[in-house]
Amino acid sequence: MIRDQETMQILLDSIRSFVNEALIPREEEVAETDEIPEDIVSQMRDMGLFGLTIPEEFGGLGVTMEEEVNIAFELGRTSPAFRSFIGTNNGIGSIGILLDGTEEQKATYLPKLASGEILSSFCLTEPDSGSDAASLRTTAVRDGDHYLINGTKRYITNAPHAGIFTVMARTDPEIKGAKGISAFIVEATTPGITIGKCDKKMGQKGAHTADVIFDNVRVPSSALIGENEGVGFKTAMKVLDKGRLHIAAIAVGAAERVLEDSLRYAMERKQFGRPISDFQLIQAMLADSKAEIYAARCMVLDAARRRDDGLSVSTEASCAKMFATEMCSRVADRGVQIHGGAGYVSDYAVERFYRDVRLFRLYEGTTQIQQVIISRNMIREAQQ
Ligand SMILES: Cc1cc2nc3c(=O)[nH]c(=O)nc-3n(C[C@H](O)[C@H](O)[C@H](O)COP(=O)(O)OP(=O)(O)OC[C@H]3O[C@@H](n4cnc5c(N)ncnc54)[C@H](O)[C@@H]3O)c2cc1C
């Protein structure tokens, strides 16, 4: 449930204006420079965007899941790179600390994340461990009241900017699967950490990912999240469950933007003496996109409300992530088609969105992994 409709509407209106007036006009600049301008980062800090999901007691806005997806619908309407910059502090980089951290860990790090003083990154993926995250090889070996961390993490969002990393590492080499994994908060200045070169990506210029290499990185035992060994994989999965709804909502917002742009273009562009929006084959593409966006929006909102009601949404979050992100790619593809040749050259945003949104189907669990989760949950329920 939205807690206070009026306050929420004011926040949503201010985010919509910020997206329309400050972010959309700067998209090209971000795509060309591969950087988020410092004045935009500072405005995002002032608006509290780094701490949307962090509870008020730690300096954030403490939004509910329903509120968060409504905000994500708005933020999704511009280049995903802007969202990515604040995304890890609100999602994968902070939720592990929030859900499973000790009171001291929360008090130390959450206020800095909420204010945007530091950025956080989530280090799960490795060169040989992606979808099969439980097979990760990074180790954290106990050494008195410290741990020594060794390993390489891959494609880590915001790694070049991060002040802290949430690192999943194997504390018990005897246990090969999920149960041998623990989660740590590692400060980026700790000796032994190297950040690799920024990855050259297909899209989302301005959002940076890189390898993070841990070479005998010594952290105190108080860096273990919840000071509890062997539950780090569970923490990571809880983080991703929530993250999936957020990505699904961002995909809805991006699809809405592409459709807005496509409709405008279809009404302006004339062929055969008429606007192309007069042609029923163009109308069919517009209508299919509209209906699919509506379906995805309803799914995301329903799953978010269920989560706020305390229900388990593993299946619904995966359904929403799978449907919304696949839908977004179809809408972007139709968007390019509606723009004709203009959709293939970079004069129109649709060309950039077509590349940018492709990522949504890959990270925080590929579409195939969502299918695996959904069907596994169905079979488990049927067996009970
Ligand atoms: C830009 C970007 C940002 C990222 N940010 C982060 C981050 O901040 N932190 C982090 O930890 N990770 C991050 N990732 C990693 C991302 O989550 C992984 O790339 C993703 O989970 C897939 O893993 P993989 O790339 O190893 O692909 P693989 O697991 O090798 O998959 C390859 C193909 O095999 C399929 N596949 C794998 N297993 C199965 C199965 N059981 N059944 C059917 N099909 C299967 C996959 O669906 C895919 O099609 C990021 C990735 C990118 C590209």
Q: Which of 230, 245, 271 lies at the terminal end of a domain, its last residue? A: 230
Whether residues 223 and 161 fall in one domain: yes
Whether residues 108 and 179 fall in one domain: no
For the CA of 204, the nearest atom of ligand 1: 1
Whether residues 274 and 193 fall in one domain: no
pLDDT for the residue 173:
86
Q: Which one of the listed residues 117, 268, 364, 381 is annotated catalytic? A: 364
* DSSP one-letter code for 197: P
Whether residues 249 and 346 fall in one domain: yes
Whether residues 263 and 336 fall in one domain: yes
The answer to whether the beta carbons of residues 122 and 96 sit under 8 Å apart is yes
Q: What is the pLDDT of residues 198-256, one digit of tens each?
A: 999 999 999 999 999 999 999 999 999 999 999 999 999 999 989 999 999 999 999 99
Whether residues 196 and 157 fall in one domain: yes
User: To test the ligand 1 pocket, which listed residue (119, 122, 247, 366) has its Cβ within 8 A of the most ligand atoms?
Assistant: 366
User: Does residue 267 have its Cβ closer than 6 Å to ligand 1?
Assistant: no
Whether residues 173 and 308 fall in one domain: no
How far does residue 361's CA lie from ligand 1's centre (Å)? 9
Active site residue 364: yes
At residue 173, the 3 state secondary structure works out as coil
pLDDT for the residue 243:
94
At residue 38, the 3 state secondary structure works out as helix
Q: Is 202 exposed, middle or buried (0-12, 13-18, 19+ CB in 10 A)?
A: exposed
For the CA of 88, the nearest atom of ligand 1: 8
Whether residues 225 and 141 fall in one domain: yes
Q: Identify which of 244, 258, 253, 225 has the alpha carbon closest to the alpha carbon of residue 96.
A: 225
User: Does residue 155 have its Cβ closer than 6 Å to ligand 1?
Assistant: yes
CATH number at residue 178: 2.40.110.10
pLDDT for the residue 348:
96
HSE-up of residue 251 (Cα within 13 Å, Cβ side): 36
Q: Which residue has the tokens 């991703």?
A: 240
As a whole number, mean pLDDT of residues 373-381 equals: 97
Q: Which of 115, 146, 168 lies at the terminal end of a domain, its last residue? A: 115
CATH number at residue 244: 1.20.140.10
For the CA of 365, the nearest atom of ligand 1: 21
Q: What is the pLDDT of residues 175-200, one digit of tens each?
A: 889 999 999 999 999 999 999 999 99
67 pLDDT exceeds 50? yes
Whether residues 255 and 291 fall in one domain: yes
Whether residues 252 and 379 fall in one domain: yes
pLDDT for the residue 1:
47
Q: What angle do CA 140, 145, 150 make, to 5 degrees?
A: 20
Q: What is the pLDDT of residues 84-95, one digit of tens each?
A: 999 999 999 999
The total domain count for the chain is 3
Whether residues 217 and 257 fall in one domain: no
Whether residues 37 and 12 fall in one domain: yes
Q: What's the mean pLDDT when you consider all of the chain?
A: 96
How far does residue 303's CA lie from ligand 1's centre (Å)? 23
For the CA of 362, the nearest atom of ligand 1: 20
How far does residue 363's CA lie from ligand 1's centre (Å)? 6
Full domain range(s) for residue 291: 234-383
As a whole number, mean pLDDT of residues 339-352 equals: 96
How far does residue 23's CA lie from ligand 1's centre (Å)? 29
Q: Which of 68, 86, 115 lies at the terminal end of a domain, its last residue? A: 115
Q: What is the pLDDT of residues 136-159, one digit of tens each?
A: 999 999 999 999 999 999 999 999
User: Does residue 372 have its Cβ closer than 6 Å to ligand 1?
Assistant: yes
Report which protein residue has its CA nearest ligand 1's atom 27: 130
Task: Please report the sign of the dihedral spanned by the C-alpha atoms of residue 341, residue 344, residue 347, residue 352.
Answer: positive
Residue 4 confidence class, pLDDT cut points 50, 70, 90: confident
CATH number at residue 90: 1.10.540.10
Share of the chain above pLDDT 70, in %: 99
15 pLDDT exceeds 80? yes
Q: What is the pLDDT of residues 101-110, one digit of tens each?
A: 999 999 999 9
User: To test the ligand 1 pocket, which listed residue (198, 360, 363, 373) has its Cβ within 8 A of the most ligand atoms?
Assistant: 363
Cα 349 to Cα 37, 78, 102, 206: the distances in Å are 19, 10, 44, 15
How far does residue 138's CA lie from ligand 1's centre (Å)? 17
349 pLDDT exceeds 60? yes
Report which protein residue has its CA nearest ligand 1's atom 37: 131
User: Does residue 276 have its Cβ closer than 6 Å to ligand 1?
Assistant: no
How far does residue 161's CA lie from ligand 1's centre (Å)? 22
pLDDT for the residue 2:
58
